Structure 1
Amino acid sequence: MGFSTKILELNYILEIIANYTHAKNSRERILALVPSDNYDNIKHDLSFSNEILSLLTKYGRMPFVDDFDHLETINMLGSRLQLNIDEFIQIKRYVLMEKSFENYRIQFDNSDLMTYQYLVKLPHHKEVLNEINQIISENNEIFDHASPTLNDIRKSLRTKTKILEKLLSEVLSKYASYLNESLIVMRAGRYAIPVKESYKHKVKGVIHDVSASKQTVYIEPDDIRQVTQDIEYLTQLETNEINKILTQLTKSIKPFKDSLAVQMESFIDLDIYHAKSLYAKEIDAILPEINEEGLIDILKARHPLLNKEIVVPIDVKINPEQPVLMITGPNTGGKTVALKTVGLLTLMLQSGILVPVNYGSKMSLFKYVFADIGDEQSIQQSLSTFSSHLTKIKKMLDEVYGSSLILLDEIGSGTDPIEGVSLAIAIIEKLRKDKAVRMMVTTHYSELKLYAYEHDDILTASVAFDQETLKPLYKLQLGVSGSSHAISIAERLGLQKDVIKHARELLGGRQTNLAKSLEKLSIEQNEIMNLKDEVQLKNETLEKEIKLYREKLEALELKKEEAIEKVKQKEEKKYQKLKSELMDLIDELSKKESLSKPEAAKVKGKINQKHEVKEEVVDENINVDDTVYIKSYNQQGVVTKIKGDKYFVSLGQFDLSFEKADLRKVEIKKETKVKKTPLIRKSEEKIQKNASFELDLRGVRYEEVKELMDKAIDDALLLNMPYIRVIHGFGTGAIRKAVHDYIKKSPYIKSHRYGQEGEGLNGVTVITL
């Protein structure tokens, strides 16, 4: 295997990915990553990274903690008798991370996923966490109850400390007249008071320091020495006991050393996959179809080191039938970028990194990826640009064989054009003999363009060039041969007109008829390619519109089926209820002498026959002011307006729109009735005044919704209202969610739906009681 990783700048990609890691070991391993040609391993790594990329989109980043890879600390469990508190805290942070990953895995509880299978093998070391938590507090200190001895020592320490505080206060008061300042200071690790030099013999104790001016002497009074010594002794006992506890804790978790180390290694590997996926998300990368047959069909490839907002994507095709792609066109037109893009994406793919191309792209794996790009010179060897290129190509010809991707930039340049072209053709001919070799070359030599046209197994391509502005478009056009446009570019840059004119005359004289024909053919090909791009763009737009139409049609069909199913279920419930009542009645009748049991059985059999509701379609004229029966509301109303297929019907205070199929004309018979005064209680009278088909919840807080809904339903039930129109608006959706949560729990609500056109659409929910 051999890969031109440096010249294709794979190292820059690895440095970016390394910045996404959370562990030192992960970072180092990514920076040391080299491409592979093992198909199974590459396929596994790419699939794993692609799956994690999908999980990142749905569930966010994985819960790694920074610097979790304390492998040295874990290994110390086997070589040291005692770890210190900081080292136990490191292990604790890691084990807590294990628990976080358990919770992350639960979110996508799917055993078919590679990530699920990976994480399920990394269980939480809860025994280790329990052992540490029994000894070390959240403040990273040893608990008093870690041992009875430690508890007793700390009780004595607290007692002695209180005594010391009292004695220190008494000392300041006792020697106040001898002090420079009324304060306690620490000198040589001991408590001392600042005594004036002239009174140092007035205070019995040990001198621990003298000020620079010699005016102050720092003395530890004998009054506190005994208590201080007691505290020092107890502190040493505490340290000894803590060491015993930590030694025991080390011994307790030592059996988990190997499983912790193995699991930590697995998390380091997962951190690498995770970092690759985060980078893939940044550059909009995907998993293309991969093969080992040398088939390259890349769609909209983007160089990942260029700004993705401005980089121009390219399409590249290389296959067994046309294993050589020759790219022509002017300098600075993007030929070299095209070579680097294909080479770098291939190296990324073979390093298990997803690549920024479009779906449907096909990429191949190679044992060798060789690139001779740029005009680097070897100063130490005193080689010219041409010699430097030839040295690299010689090495390539000597070492590269079989499955290889060869990238040669400006082949044959840097020397006499005739000799350079001849040498270039000879090199291409040599490489073409190996059917496993795939090659991309760039050139601006007309002779090489002609050579490409003469061989069916060489596909030509050109970097697009604006003929009017003479500026490169950096777009690769397959099947087109491009011109160098040297004279045109020189003219745009302001070279004297007489020089430009003379150059054109010389060119016209030297150009062969074949060269002129090639140039004409190139122009025509460019025009065809532009037309092809326009047609493709229109087709893509049309396909999007067709897809959108189909999605809307499917959604409408689904809604229709759901509506029909709801009606069927509703009618079936009604039927089952009536059937149950009838069966009970027949059972009752069968007990009577007038109806024999066989007769009862016969009646039951008829009732049990399949019940089908067939709705008769009635075509009747419905006009304004007609009284109609509304089937969906089980209510009557008066038609107030007809607009197209919509019939607006007055229901109480509102005009709602309905389809004609939902309405039945009702003939109103005029009857003379005795007017009666309804008896209404005061509470009902109040409800009638306030009650409405409408409840407006806009501006209401989430927690107020239930109370307002309760009252509205109570009022509606008392007045026998069939429905309530609840206005919750659009907003954040919180009030709408509160309304729908209430509907699910309420036993008084038969059904609900969003408002129709004229009713408020999704900002309104209509409830049927």
Structure 2
Amino acid sequence: MNKKILEILEFDKVKSQVSQELSTSQGSDELENLTPITDKVRIQRWFDELSEFALVVQENGAVPLSNTADLTEILRRIELDASLASQEFAKIKKVLRLANETRRFFEQAVNVSFPVLAQTLDKFVDVAYLLGLLQVIDSAGALVDTASDKLFSLRESIKKSDADVRKILSEILSKSQSSLTESIITMRQGRPVLAVRSDSKNKIPGVVHDMSASGQTFYIEPNRVVALNNDVAQKRIEEKNEVARILRELAERIKPHVPDIRQNTWLIGQIDLINAKYRYQLATKSSVPSISEHKAIKLYAARHPLIDPKKVVANDLIFDQNLDTIVITGPNTGGKTITLKTLGLAQLMAQSGLPILAEIGSQVGIFNEIFADIGDEQSIEQSLSTFSSHMTNIVKILDAVDTHSLVLFDELGAGTDPKEGAALAISILDYLKSKQAKTMATTHYPELKAYGVESERVENASMAFDLAHFRPTYQLVQGVPGRSSALEISRRLGLQAQILEEASGFLTEDEHDVNVMIASLEAKNRDMTASVNKIRTLEKDNYLLYKELSKSLETFTRDREKELNKARIEAQDIVKVAVDEADSILKNLKDKSLLKPHEIIDAKHQLGELAPNLVDLSQNKVLKKAKAKRGLKPGAEVLVLSYNQRGNLIRLAKDGRWEVQMGLISTKLSEDEFEPIEPEEETKKTKTKAVKKTVSTGIRAQLDLRGTRYEEAKKMLDDYIDQALLANLHQITIVHGIGTGVIREMVRDYLQRSRHVKSYEYAPQNAGGSGATIATLR
């Protein structure tokens, strides 16, 4: 993309707006190097990354980005084996830590997928090793005491000696107040000294390091601490050398990893730039456009990004594939130039991967070059007139233009004789049309109105003017040429009627008819625009509703899958307990020689198969289709899901539910409340019965105690529970009736005290209510 168009359309000012949303120096570098490109695949990737990033942030909060330093020079010096200060290592550490936190943020992101963005995130290099090395640098950029044993020993020794010096000086201070001008310990030439009066300098023997300007104070290092301070000075030199050695060794160990550090710093810049784009999108209420296949441009409610948001006027601009040229005619006021710049800048932003200031659903094309001749380019140095200057620029554009170009002309043909200028403008537009370039031009020549009407793949447009308030509205009206309102405006401003009448007489009949036609078109266009705006508002509302519903459905499905898998896990645990108990029972039976070994193994295998497997719930549609194909008919055996009991279908009721008989209980159930038992399952049941025959003689999942006496009912219940446990029944139903309530209370008391009963409750109303109790066995 030529640099001149970036200057004309002030693309750098847009980048400056985006830069305010950046956090890192790496992101600033990425934005500085950002320019429009022509690779459609790469542009689409940028858009996809931005859209996915927005979803991640909306679901998981802001990405933990923070201010970082530029490491370019630091890393180069490491490669050159130059010495680095500890503060420079601290800058490296901060960047690597930020890279780690950023990577971890996306790894822990929930409720959203980001396949395109993940391809960038996967390029992060694991820097745990380097962060481990840099633990010797603290947050302030200093080398920690424990960086080496020697450094620790030296610093501890220095601290102790410093403390001894302070203690001795404090003792001298307390005993020699009369000899001092100040009761403090101060520093001179890096040594702790006392401020001694000049007439008392012999009372505190020591080394004089300085004297006040007045000569009244001598700064003396007492002899008692000279040796200690000398020792401290020597140890500080050793400490400095040890620090240099450690930092040099640290640089050597980091040097092989410099490419990885560069990779991570670049990725931080990428993520920071995407984050800045997203924040800019929110701040400006912009959107990510789609990319057309045939250079079509559709901008809905497009705004110029450099105009005050409170003053800017939004315009629809439709430049579809059936159009080569749009000619905006009419007076010189009203925002024609801003419309040109809005179109050009939207394209530059889109081809740079930036969101554009237009509504959702907008579309952009991909152009290899964008050319513009906008503004006054008169050159004093070259003694060129305005017309000559513009024409020089236009010649350069026409020499370079091709079918993949977008051309913007402001006041094409202006600055010369109107008839010649209009003829030149039409010829230039025809030439660009022959090149199949997309062209938008503004002009005030009336001849181009006819050109827009009579020429194929050319459309007229104009800027609306509010005659009632004598001001431009800055609204683009496509399909309607501009009309001059000079006479009308003059009349309303009070120009004499005689002058207006004479001026009107100079206009031809055709010109009168054209103005009437344009006024009619404007009225029709207003009505059509109002209708289109209503439709687009409905489309936008429907789109937002669709997004909300899609998100809600996704959340519901995800929560449902979690709960169902949780239930299956609990069921597996329950069955595991049952299998363990069955192991114990079968072991006892084996000891009693009631079963053969191979029969025990077979029975245990069948018990183990009771555990439900966790499944991918996305495959449930297949299961539902299989269930629908099986068909249901009276007499078919089914498994009632809520009771985990078998029953038989009796008849299909009018309300669509089936009447199901479970022992003595009959109830109505919908098809999703039971599962048909396949014939192959029936075969398995027969085999299972052959194994269980020696354990239980056809034990049913229901016990009927109605009509029995208290003691008899209690014994029957006790025996039945034992048989149910041996038969590995998970849930049983005890029918006791209502009656006087004696048998019912006995049953509930027994179940409450039994260690084999996990829980119990009255049956549902359609299955016996308080006349039956359903118990779940351990």
Among 498, 505, 511, the residue aligned to 1:509: 505
Matching residue of 2:127: 125
Q: Secondary structure at the match of 2:103?
A: helix
The answer (yes or no) to whether the contact 1:75–1:261 under 8 Å persists in 2 is: no
Alignment partner of 1:239: what SS?
A: helix
Gaps of 5+ in 1: 574-602, 618-746, 751-769
2:116: which partner in 1? 114
Report the CA distance between 1:543 and its aligned residue: 6.5
The more displaced of 100-109 and 522-531 is 100-109
Alignment of 1:257-656 (within 5 A): 257-291=258-292, 293-435=294-436, 437-490=437-490, 494=493, 497-498=495-496, 501=497, 504-539=500-535, 608-610=646-648
Q: What is the CA-CA distance between 1:611 and the residue it aligns to?
A: 6.1
Check 1:553–1:283 CA distance in 2 against 1; reply closer, same or farther (3 A cut): closer
Quote the residue 1:714 is aligned against: none
In structure 2, C-alpha distance between the alignment counterparts of 1:363 and 1:551, rounded to whole Å: 23
Q: Please state if 1:67 is matched with 2:56.
A: no
Q: Which moved more, 1:390-399 or 1:502-511?
A: 502-511
The CA distance in 2 between the partners of 1:136 and 1:268, in whole Å, is 24
Q: 1:72 to 1:502 in 2, by over 3 A?
A: farther
Find the residue that maps to 1:181 and give its secondary structure.
Answer: strand
State the shift of 1:323 in Å: 0.8
Secondary structure of the residue aligned to 2:522 is helix
Q: Which residue of 2 aligns with 1:711?
A: none
Q: What do residues 145-181 of structure 1 show as CA deviations (whole Å, max 9, x unaligned)?
A: 3322223223322332232122102222343332223
TM-score, normalised with respect to structure 1: 0.69
How much has 1:345 moved relative to structure 2? 0.7
Q: Compute the displacement of 1:43 (Å).
A: 2.4
Contact 2:324/2:438 (<8 A) preserved: yes
**For the Cα contact (< 8 Å) 1:102–1:123, is it kept in 2?**
no
Change (3 A) 1:504 1:108: farther
> In the superposition, relative to structure 1, how do residues 391 and 543 fare at CA in structure 2: closer, same or farther (>3 Å)?
closer
1:49, 1:276 within 8 Å by CA — same for their partners in 2? yes
**Alpha-carbon distance, 1:127 to partner:** 0.8
SS, match of residue 184 in structure 2: coil
The answer as to whether partners of 2:211 and 2:219 remain within 8 angstroms in 1 is: yes
Whole-Å separation in 2 of the counterparts to 1:283 and 1:544: 18
> Could you tell me how far 1:214 is from its partner in structure 2?
1.6
Deviations 1:534-558 (A, max 9, x none): 33345456678989999999999x9
Provide the C-alpha distance between the structure 1 equivalents of 2:224 and 2:55, rounded to a whole number of angstroms: 72
Matches of 2:543 and 2:87, distance apart in 1: 60
- CA 1:443/1:748 → structure 2, altered by over 3 Å: closer, same or farther? farther
TM-aligned CA deviation for residue 13 of structure 1: 0.8
In 1, are the aligned partners of 2:124 and 2:263 still within 8 Å (CA)? no
SS state of the match for residue 182, structure 1? strand
1:429 Cα offset (Å): 2.1
Secondary structure of 2:421's match? helix
CA distance in 2, matches of 1:219, 1:363: 80
Matched residue, 1:590: none
Letter in 2 for 1:361: S
CA distance in 1, matches of 2:20, 2:529: 39
Conserved? CA contact 2:373–2:393, under 8 Å: yes
Cα distance in 1 for residues equivalent to 2:18 and 2:543: 37
Contact kept, 8 Å, 2:47 with 2:288, in 1: the verdict is: yes
CA-to-aligned-CA distance 1:612-634 (integer Å, 9 cap, x gap): 999999xxxxxxxxxxxxxxxxx
CA drift at 1:522: 0.7
Q: How many Å separate the matches in 2 of 1:516 and 1:255?
A: 82
Matched AA of 2:500? R
Tell me the CA shift for residue 341 of structure 1: 0.8
Shift of 1:433: 1.7
Conserved 8 A contact 1:331-1:484: no
Q: Deviation of residue 237 (structure 1)?
A: 1.8
What residue in structure 2 maps to residue 217 of structure 1?
Answer: 218
CA distance in 2, matches of 1:105, 1:471: 52
Alignment partner of 1:172: what SS? helix
Task: Tell me the residue number matched to 1:240.
Answer: 241
CA contact (8 A) 1:195 1:217 kept: yes
Give the AA of the match of 2:514.
L
Matched-pair identity in %: 33
Structure 2 length-normalised TM = 0.68
Look up the SS of the partner of 1:250 in the other structure: helix
Partner of 1:693: none
Instruction: Give the SS at the match of 1:426.
Output: helix
Give, in whole Å, the separation in 2 of the partners of 1:95 and 1:483: 63
CA distance in 2, matches of 1:46, 1:236: 57
Aligned residues: 585
* SS of structure 1 residue aligned to 2:201: helix
- The whole-number CA distance in structure 2 between the counterparts of 1:503 and 1:33 is 58
* Greater mean alpha carbon deviation, residues 501-510 or residues 535-544: 535-544
Counterpart for residue 188 of structure 1:
189
| Contact map agreement 1:299 1:361 (CA 8 A) in 2 | yes
Closer/same/farther in 2, CA of residues 276 and 612 from structure 1, 3 Å limit? farther
**Partner Cα distance (1:399, 1:552) in 2:** 48
Tell me the secondary structure at the aligned position of residue 380 of structure 2. coil
Q: Is the 8 A contact 1:22 1:68 kept in 2?
A: no
* Counterpart contact for 2:88–2:141, Cα < 8 Å: no
CA distance in 2, matches of 1:183, 1:490: 89
- Cα distance in 1, alignment partners of residues 362 and 548 from structure 2: 29
Aligned residue number for residue 172 of structure 1 = 173
Q: 1:389 to 1:115 in 2, by over 3 A?
A: same
* C-alpha distance 473-748 of structure 1, shift in aligned 2 (>3 A): farther
CA distance in 2, matches of 1:393, 1:47: 37
Name the amino acid aligned to 1:66. N
Match of 1:254 in 2: 255
Residue 606 of structure 2 corresponds to none
Displacement after TM superposition at 1:82 (Å): 4.4
Aligned residue number for residue 227 of structure 2: 226
- Counterpart-to-counterpart distance in 2, 1:362 and 1:49: 16
Greater shift, 86-95 or 233-242, is seen at 233-242
Deviations 1:494-550 (A, max 9, x none): 5x623xx45533442232222222111111111111221333345456678989999
Instruction: For residues 123-156 of structure 1, give each alpha carbon's deviation from its aligned partner in whole angstroms, at most 9, with x where no partner exists.
Output: 33111111221x2344544333332222322332
Q: 1:491: how far off?
A: 5.1
Taking the aligned partners of 1:613 and 1:309, their CA distance within structure 2 comes to 71
- Note the alpha carbon deviations across 1:647-688, whole angstroms, 9 max, x for none: xxxxxxxxxxxxxxxxxxxxxxxxxxxxxxxxxxxxxxxxxx
SS in 1 for 2:196: strand
Q: Helix, strand or coil: the match of 2:221?
A: strand
Post-superposition offset of 1:60: 3.9
> By how many angstroms is 1:748 displaced?
11
User: What corresponds to 2:94 in structure 1?
Assistant: 93
The answer (yes or no) to whether the contact 1:325–1:458 under 8 Å persists in 2 is: yes
Question: How much is the aligned-residue C-alpha RMSD, in angstroms?
Answer: 3.9
Aligned equivalents of 2:117 and 2:456: distance in 1? Answer: 47
Cα shift at 1:279? 2.0
SS in 2 for 1:131: helix
Show structure 2 runs of 5+ residues with no match: 572-634, 639-644, 656-758, 763-778
- For 1:150 and 1:535, the matched residues in 2 are separated by 80
